[in-house]
Amino acid sequence: MSLEIKNLEKAYKNGVKALDKVSLTIPKGMFGLLGPNGAGKSTLMRTVATLQSPDKGEIFFEGIDVLKDPMSLRRILGYLPQEFGVYPKVSGERLLNYFANLKGISSKSDRSKLIGEILELTNLTEVRKKYVSGYSGGMKQRFGIAQLLLNNPKLIIVDEPTAGLDPAERVRFLNILREIGSRNTVIFSTHIVEDVKDLCHEVAIMNGGRILHRKSPVNAVNAIDGRVWTTSIKSEDLDSTKEKHQILSSSYNRDDSINIRIYSENHPGGEFIPAKPQLDDVYFLILKEASETPTLTI
């Protein structure tokens, strides 16, 4: 049940190359597409969801040639865009019932069984009688998932689902995706490293329309073990430290000193001590190296 993306290219009319020979194999499970704003994530997801056409390339899913036969993909696709429409003053349960009817689930008992299961899975059972228009941002996101599950999709694409959610709601939402991902292919995009850390079997890092890196979070972190170092410096020394070292990230302390993490194959000298690498380090390193060597693909 893997999704095969081959050499996708897309340039917008304004000249922005949003997809630059993107090739990816995405297996069953949760797949995270990580990248900063403008990386090309939405373009890639909308293209896979058959909402826009690439200039070149191919996409296959379960024997379907997606670009040649978009209707077949749409039948098994669930797509949750970054922004979706205004919801009416109708309860969550009634609205799902309405959509299920539209989808042709004509037996009332089949509908209520399915909707009951979906409400349970998306943690909305308690608020099922409340108007969707009054749902919180997180509940609306979960309702979006509930809605697409009515289709029993095999491929689920969710664009930046955690943007704007508070931490508890974020975790709740991601856990729902994980549950769905145990049976299907779920791709979700995010600019938050934390989102993909524990949840995704695999992650691709994207920027400038290119896939820069693709590994499991664990392997990605292990690959830089022994090469991340940390120390605390005075804030006025930041510029000179930047010249000498490849800084991955920095954070201010209360006393105005700065904790820095750097990448170095060997001990960088001075006060540096080894740091346990994290996925953030991989992310910053990959983005940095790619911006310094524009043709690099790791």
* Contacting residues toward ligand ADP, per CB under 6 A: 12, 14, 16, 18, 35, 37-43
Instruction: Check if the beta carbon of residue 250 is closer than 8 Å to that of residue 239.
Output: no
Q: How far is the CB of 210 from ligand ADP (least distance, A)?
A: 11
208: how many CB neighbours lie within 10 A of its CB?
A: 18
Q: How far is the CB of 101 from ligand ADP (least distance, A)?
A: 34
Residue 161: both structure tokens together: 């689902």
Instruction: Output 37 or 266, the one with its CB closest to ligand ADP.
Output: 37
Instruction: Output 16 or 238, the one with its CB closest to ligand ADP.
Output: 16
Instruction: Output 81 or 116, the one with its CB closest to ligand ADP.
Output: 81
- Residue 90 C-alpha from the chain's centroid: 30
The CA distance from 272 to 161, in Å, is 38
The CA distance from 297 to 40, in Å, is 16
Q: Which residues make Cβ contacts (< 8 Å) with residue 237, sequence separation at least 6? A: none
94: burial class by Cβ within 10 Å (0-12, 13-18, 19+)?
middle
Instruction: Output 38 or 70, the one with its CB closest to ligand ADP.
Output: 38
The secondary structure element, H or E, covering residue 169 is helix 167-181
Q: How far is the CB of 17 from ligand ADP (least distance, A)?
A: 8
Instruction: Output 83 or 126, the one with its CB closest to ligand ADP.
Output: 83
Q: How far is the CB of 51 from ligand ADP (least distance, A)?
A: 11
The CA distance from 111 to 96, in Å, is 9
Instruction: Output 45 or 115, the one with its CB closest to ligand ADP.
Output: 45
Measured over the CA atoms of residue 285, residue 289, residue 295 and residue 298, the dihedral's sign is: negative
Instruction: DSSP letter for 87, please.
Output: P
The secondary structure element, H or E, covering residue 63 is none
| Contacts by residues 100-105 (CB-CB < 8 Å, ≥ 24 positions apart) | 100/150, 103/150, 103/151, 105/150
Instruction: Output 42 or 147, the one with its CB closest to ligand ADP.
Output: 42
The CA distance from 54 to 47, in Å, is 7
Q: How far is the CB of 56 from ligand ADP (least distance, A)?
A: 16
Residue 249: both structure tokens together: 């990230």
Q: How far is the CB of 172 from ligand ADP (least distance, A)?
A: 23
Q: How far is the CB of 164 from ligand ADP (least distance, A)?
A: 15
Q: How far is the CB of 169 from ligand ADP (least distance, A)?
A: 21
Instruction: Output 82 or 112, the one with its CB closest to ligand ADP.
Output: 82
